[in-house]
């Protein structure tokens, strides 16, 4: 049984410029330090806009913060005539650990295909970044009872050509689209159902060890008031948090969900 370290990742989306990013990250770090947060027990990541990454790197390095950080997207290419795209190699030079791939807002607003998402997963691994692969159904798919099939089809497509060794380091974020930004959170049972289905598919595609190693996050209106019930589920290993991560004190409470369980 793999010991999967919980991961709380805050996806800031298109919010907080590089000045605001510095203030927010500083406040988050201070809040977690005051609470004596154990980063070995719960990993904490922020995923800011690209324009903030150098400032985040500077603060993390200067203050030797244990908070890690990621990018919200990346190019499938390393360099060249790809106006507006961001090279995974440049992200690696900025000390980025994680890279979101296939977030529903990229799939919706930028028509990202399964093929492009698969190419980006490979691109992340090649540059030494850890992909956080975002998958999840639409409301109409859930209403049709096809949410598991839809989400697993996204998983299958994104994993094409990956080795078991690569997949074991992958993070998967199950984000039902109907729960993103709506305040309507999936139930802990919904999150467990899909996390277990994802793990089951990984066992089919690869092997039990790989399925056991992969961390599966839940995302979609996570708050400090609901995170503990979601994290109590055996196949859920963390959260990908949007709006609530913009408030450092609220995000710190989410990261410290275990403490809140026991009322510390």
Ligand X SMILES: O=C(CO)COP(=O)(O)O
Active site residues: 103, 175
Nearer to ligand X, 123 or 245 (CB): 245
Interaction residues for ligand X, span 63-82 (CB under 6 A): none
Which residues sit opposite 7 in a β-bridge? 43, 238
* Residue 12 is labelled as binding a ligand: yes
Q: Indicate which single residue of 45, 129, 152, 180 sits in contact with ligand X (rule: CB under 6 A).
A: 180
**Residue 126 C-beta: closest distance to ligand X, Å:** 23
- Alpha-carbon distance 162 to 112, whole Å? 19
Tell me how far CA of residue 196 lies from CA of 61, 124, 149, 192, 203, in angstroms.
37, 25, 13, 6, 11
- Alpha-carbon distance 77 to 137, whole Å? 28
Residues sharing a CB contact under 8 Å with residue 140, sequence separation 6 or more, in sequence order: none
SS (H, E, C) 102-150: CCHHHHHHCCCCHHHHHHHHHHHHHCCCEEEEEECCCHHHHHCCCHHHH
Report how many residues bind ligand X under the rule CB under 6 A: 14
Contacts with ligand X, 139-178, as mask; x by CB under 6 A:
------------------------------------x---
Q: Does 136 bind ligand X (CB under 6 A)?
A: no
Tell me how far CA of residue 103 lies from CA of 78, 87, 209, in angstroms.
20, 18, 26
Q: Does 11 bind ligand X (CB under 6 A)?
A: yes
Nearer to ligand X, 48 or 242 (CB): 242
Interaction residues for ligand X, span 188-227 (CB under 6 A): 219-222
**Residue 72 C-beta: closest distance to ligand X, Å:** 9
* Residue 87 is labelled as binding a ligand: no
Assigned token pair, 248? 């450092």
Question: Which residue positions form the known binding site for substrate?
Answer: 11-13, 181, 221, 242-243
- Give the interface with ligand X as residue ranges (CB under 6 A): 11, 103, 175, 180-181, 219-222, 240-244
């Amino acid at each position: 049984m793999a010991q999967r370290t919980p991961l709380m990742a805050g996806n800031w989306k298109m919010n907080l410029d590089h000045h605001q990013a510095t203030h927010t990250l500083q406040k988050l770090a201070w809040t977690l330090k005051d609470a004596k947060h154990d980063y070995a027990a719960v990993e904490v990541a922020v995923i800011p806009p690209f324009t903030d990454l150098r400032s985040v790197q500077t603060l993390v390095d200067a203050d030797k913060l244990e908070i890690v950080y990621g990018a919200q997207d990346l190019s499938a290419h390393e360099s060249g005539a790809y106006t507006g795209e961001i090279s995974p190699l440049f992200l690696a030079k900025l000390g980025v650990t994680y890279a979101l791939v296939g977030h529903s807002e990229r799939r919706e607003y930028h028509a990202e295909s399964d093929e492009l998402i698969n190419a980006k997963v490979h691109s992340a691994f090649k540059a030494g970044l850890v992909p956080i692969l975002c998958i999840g159904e639409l409301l109409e798919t859930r209403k049709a009872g096809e949410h598991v099939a839809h989400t697993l089809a996204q998983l299958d497509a994104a994993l094409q050509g990956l080795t078991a060794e690569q997949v074991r380091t992958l993070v998967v974020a199950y984000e039902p689209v109907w729960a993103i930004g709506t305040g309507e959170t999936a139930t802990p049972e919904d999150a467990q159902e899909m996390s277990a289905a994802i793990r089951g598919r990984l066992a089919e595609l690869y092997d039990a060890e790989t399925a056991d190693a992969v961390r599966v996050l839940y995302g979609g209106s996570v708050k400090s008031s609901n995170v503990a019930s979601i994290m109590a589920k055996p196949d859920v290993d963390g959260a990908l948090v949007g709006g609530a991560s913009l408030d450092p004190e609220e995000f710190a409470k989410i990261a410290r969900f275990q403490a809140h369980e026991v009322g510390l």
